[in-house]
Structure 1
Amino acid sequence: MFDIFRSRDKAVRTTLTVMLGLVALSMVAYLVPGGVGGDSGGAEPVVAQVCDDKITLREVQLQLQSSLKNKQFPMQMIQNYIPEFVNQFVAERATACQAKDMGIRVSEEEVANAIKSMLPNIFQGGFNKEVYAGFLAQQNLDIPTFEANVRKQMQLVKLRNLIMEGLIVTADEVEGEFRRRNEKIKIDYVAFAADKFKGQVTISPADVQTFFNANRAMFKSPEKRSFDLLVASEEKIGATIDVSDAVLRQVYSSAGDRFRTGERVRVRHILLKTTEKSADDIKKIEAKANDLLKQIKAGADFGKLASANSDDPGSKDKGGEYGWMIKGQTVPAFEASAFSLKKNETSNPIKTEYGYHIIQVLDREDPKVQGFEAVKGELATELRRQQVQPRLEAAAEQARAELSKNPKNAVAIAAKYNLTHYAVQEARAGDPLQEIGVAQDFSSSLFSLPAVGGVTNAIVAGNNKLAIGVLTGITAPRPSELSEVEAAIRSQLTEQKSFELLAVKQKEVEALVKGGGDLKAIAKSIGGEVKTSEDFTRDGAAQGVGSGTYFADLFGKAPGAMTGPHNISGQVVVARLNANSAADMSKLAAERVNLITGIKGRKAQERKDLFEDGLVNRLIDKGKVKINQDVIRRLIDSYRA
C-alpha cells in the first residue's frame, strides 16, 4: 500500500496536532482489540466476545470515560446506561464480523485514501513512513494493526450501505409527516402549582422544634470573619485627576471630524408585515396601508393608529416612535423616504423586505459641528479614564504596603489614598459586601488569611474596582441556635406541606377528569381560572404551559377532548382541546426535500437497529456472541462507588 502514498511529493510536515490523534482514535478505537493500549495478552477481563474478537473491560472503560466526560449523568441511571453502552459495542463488532463473513472487500487503494482523509497533515507534501509510524506509536498502535482496523471500519460501512439500499419514501409518507409537523391545536387549560397551597399551610412552633431536634446536624453556623474593607474605585480616584481647559481644547482641536454630526431625522412609523404572506394576503396588506394613510391625511391620530395596527413590536407601544436616525441605520428604501420628507410630512406606503411602512418625520437636524462647551465634559471624562487605571493600581498597592505594616490604621490609610473604607462584621464566605457585591476571589483570599492582622492582596472586584481586606476577627463555626434557623425551617416545612397538598389535589383533579368533569368545575375546585393557549404544533410549545409533546394525545381528536393532569415544570396542568388547525398544504412543496431527508434518516436508523438486533440474536444462538454479565455488574458497581 505504501507505493500508493509514495506517488505523491516527498516533502513532509513534521508537526502533528493532538486533535489529529483524537480523530484517528475516535474512528478506530472501538475496533482495536484491548482498546487504545492494544491486546492485554489475556489478563484483562473480557466484557464480551464477538466471533474471534474480544471486547475488554479496559476498552469499555476508556470509551465510557470519553462518552461521559464533561456531562452531568444521574448515577441512578448508570445501571441502565452501561449495559446499553456494551450492547452498542457488541452490535458494532457483530456487524464487522458479518461483513467479513459476507466477503465484503476493501482494496488497498480505498484504505490508503481513507487514511489520507483521516490524517491529512501527515501526508501533506508527501508520504514519510517514519513520521507515519511515529504518529501511530504515540497512540500505542503499529502500522499493520491500524490499517487492519481501518479496513474493518470500511467493511462495516460498506455493509451498512448495502442494508440501507432501496429505502423508499412514498408521497403519502411525506404528506403524513408534513401534516404531523404542521397541524396545530389550541387548548383551554387549568394550571396550578404548590405555591397556590402555601396559604393553607400552618406551621406551629412545635412543628419547627420537632424538625430542628430531628435534624440538628443539618444546622451549623459557619465560620465568620470581621474585617476592614478598603475599595479603590475609578470614580473616586478619577475625581482627583485635574484636566485643564487648555489640555481639553488641544484635544478638541485635534479631534478632526469626530464631533461633526451628519444630517438626522426623528421619525415614527407604522409597519404592516408581509413576510411569509401569500400574494393575496400582500395585496390586502397594501390596501390596508393605503386606507391608514387616508385616515392620517383626514386628521386621524398617527400615534393611535400605530399602536392599534403596527407590527413593529419595538415602536408600536410608543405610538410608532422610532427616534432619531442617521443615514446607514436602516434599509435603503426606508432611509431614502425618511430623509426626503420635510418636518411633519407623512410618506406614502413604502415597501421594504419587511412589509409596508408609513413614515412620518417629527423633526430634522442639519449637519453641524458640536461646540467645545458641549463636548468638554465628555472629553474630560475620557482623559480621566485614560489616566485613572495606573493611579488606581498605584493607590491600592501603596495602601496595602502601609496596611501590612500597620493593619490597625485602616481608616486613616483609606483616607490618605482616596479609598472607601467599610467595617464589615461577621461576614460568611461568599456574602455580598458593600460596593463590590459577591466577590469570590476576594472572599477566598480573606478566608485563607491565617490570623487577625493579615492583609489580602489588592484584588479585582465589582465593576473595575480593587479591594483590600484587613482581618480583624474570626468567629469559629458552631451548632446553630433554633432562633437562627427558625425562618429557614418554616420555609422548608411550608414548601414540603404545600407539595403534599398539591399531590392530594392532583388526585382529586384526576378523578374529576376520569369522571368527565368540566374544566370550569376543575378550575373552581382549586380556585383557579381557565386560560386559552395560542396555536402550537406537536414539536412546538404551549406558551406559558410547556412542550407540545404533553398534549400529543389531543391531536386528531374532536374539540372538547381532555388530557391530564400532567406534571409540567413544577405545575399540574389539565387541558381541553379548544380547536384544531389543519396544516397549510400549499407549503408542502417547499419542505418536501427536508421531509424526505428526515423520513429516510428515521427509516435508516430503524432498519439499522432491526438488522443489528437480528444479527446479534442469531450470533448468540450460534454461540458466536458471549456477554460476561459478571464483569458488567462489577463495572456498574465501580461507577456507583
Structure 2
Amino acid sequence: MLEIMRENASGWIVKILFGIIIVVFVFAFGMSGFDTGQDPVLATVNDQSITRAEFEDAFQRAAEGLRSTNPEVTTAQLQDPQFKQMVLGELINNRLLLDEADRLGITASDDEVFAAITRQSYFWNQAGAFDREIYMAALRSIRMTPAQFEANFKREIIAGKVTDMVRRTAVATPEQARQIYDWVGEEARVEYILSVPADFLGQVSVDEAEVEDFYATNESRFMVPEQVRVRYLLFTPKDLASRQEASDDEVEAYFEANAASLRQEEAVKASHILIQSSDADPEEKQADARKRIEAVYARAKAGGDFAALARQYSEGPSAPGGGDLGWFGRGDMVPEFEAAAFATAKGQVSEPVRSQFGWHVIFVEDRKEPGEPTLDEVRQDIVRAIAEEKAADKVTDLLDEAMDLMLSGMTLDAVADELGMLAVTSSPVPAQGLAQGFGMTPEAAAVVMHIGPGESHKTPISIEGGYMLVEKVEDIPAAPLPLGEVHESIVASLSQRKAFEMAMADAQATLERLTGPDAAKAATGLARRLKTSEPFDRQGFVPGLGQNRNLADAAFAAEEGAWLPEPFALEAGVIVARLKEIIPASEADWENQRDTWLEQANRNYQFEAINAYMTELRQQAEIKIARPDLLN
C-alpha cells in the first residue's frame, strides 16, 4: 500500500493531473451530444468509438481548465504526449465505467440528475441558490445545449456510482493508518561535510574558445523564436470605453449599489523571472537552475532593467512581456510565490523563491492595501466600469460596421479613420506572446502568424473580452541573440558549472578518505568541518541546505553511523553525509490526529482499489488506438 507514497510525484504531469480532475470534472468529456459520425476514429473501446473531434474537445477543455488554474503551464507542456494520453485515458475509463454500469444495471433518474446539477456551485447566484440564467450562460460559454450537458452529466453520475461502489469496498484499519503515519512522520538527522561551489570560483577560468563553443552547441538556449509585427484594431469594452461617458448620478448610483464589491482587497502588481526546475530533474540541472537564478537576482538587485532581464533570461510564458503578471490578490498564485510577492516592498526585488514551476525572482511594481474606499478614491474606476458596460452593448454593432468596410476593400487604417478608432502597430512578438498578450487561443495565434506580410485577416480574431481585426506588418525569422548580448551570462554559467564540478570532486575525494583504509585518521582531520543537520522527512528538504530526495532515500535506508554511498548536491552545495539518527513520529501527535490519518488511509486504499478495478476493466476490454499519431 505504501508504494504510492514512495513514488516520486514531482513531475509536472502528475501535478496537473489533479487540476484535470478538479477543473474538468463536468466539462472535459462533454462530447457525446456532438455529431461526429463522419469524424476519424482515434480509438475504440470494445465496440464503441472515440472520435478525433471528441478527443480534441476533451483536450481543449482540459487545457483551458489547466491554464485558468496554472498560468505558468506552457503550450509545449500541454502538447506533451503524456498529457494527451492522460486525456485519452480518461475518455477510455469513462467508456469502461459506463459499460460496467450497464452490465450491473446501474442508472440515474432525471430527477436525480437535476438535483445533482442544482448542487453544483458553478450555477449558484450570490444567495447560494441554483440560478437557471447562470446555468444557461455557463453552457453557452462551453458551446453546449442543456440536453447535451444533462446527458453527459447523467453519464458522469452513473460512472461515479460505479467508482463509489468500488470505493466502499476499501476500508483501512487503525493499524494500517498508524503504519502510514509512522512512515510519513519519522525524520532523519545526518552529520555532513559541505563543499561549497562558490569557494572554488576563484580557481575557475573560462577562455573565449569555451564561450564560443558553448554558444555554438547551445544555440537553442539563445534563440529568439519567430516573431511578427501586426497592426490591429481592438473591439473590446475596455478599448471602446473611451467613446462613452458616465454622469455624476450614474457614478453615485453605481457606488451605492456596489459598495461591498468595491472594497479594496490586498493586491500586488508584479513581474517575475522564471528559471524552470523540478524535483524530477537531475541534481546537476537543479543546481544549475539555482545558480542561474542567483546570477539574475544579483543583476536585478543591482538595479538592472527587470523587464529586459526577464525577456533575456526568463523561461516562463510571460517573458516576452518583460515578465509582467499584472495585478493579483491572495489565492491567485501558488503559495510559495504568493508569500514572496506579498512580503516584498513596492519597488523591490524578492530573493529567489522556489515553486513547483522552478525558481522565481519577483519585482513588485505596486501594491494595494485592503480597506473601504471613498467615492473620490474609486470614482475613476467606476467611470471606467460604467463606460465599459455601455461599450459592451456596442461592440457587435461597431465590429459589424468595420467588417462591412473591410469587405468593401478598405484598408485597416482606412477603417480606423472611418470609425474614429486608432490602429496600433505591435512591437515584435512571438506566437506565444500573441496568445498571452491578447488572450487569443494558440490556434488563433497560429492563424495570425501565417498571414502574409501586408495582408489582413478577413474575419475577426476572438480575444479576451472581445475581438480584433489584424493586418500583418512584418515577419521576423527566428534567430539567436548575438554572442555579445549573452557573453556575460555564458561566462557566469560556465564558471558556476566548473565550480560545481570542483565542489563535487572535492566531496567525492572527502568521501573516499572517510571510507578508505585510513578512515579513522581522515575523520579526525575533518572533524572541524563536520556539522549536524536539522531533522528532515522523506521529501528530502533539509533546512539550511536545500532539497534532495535521493539524499532522503539514502538516509532512511542507511544504518546509523554509516556514510552514505555518494555525495549529494543541494542548494547550499555538495555534501557527504552519514546517518546520525532516525527520529520516530510523535506519539502525542498520533493521539491527536488518529482520525485524520485513518481518513487518509481510507483514501489511499480507495485510490488503490479504484486503480486496480480500472486496470482489470482495461485488461478485459478490447482497446485499440487507431490514430496514435494524433497523440504525438
- Report TM bin, short chain: 0.3 to 0.5
Q: Find the structure with the greater CA-based Rg.
A: 1
TM-score by length of 2: 0.46
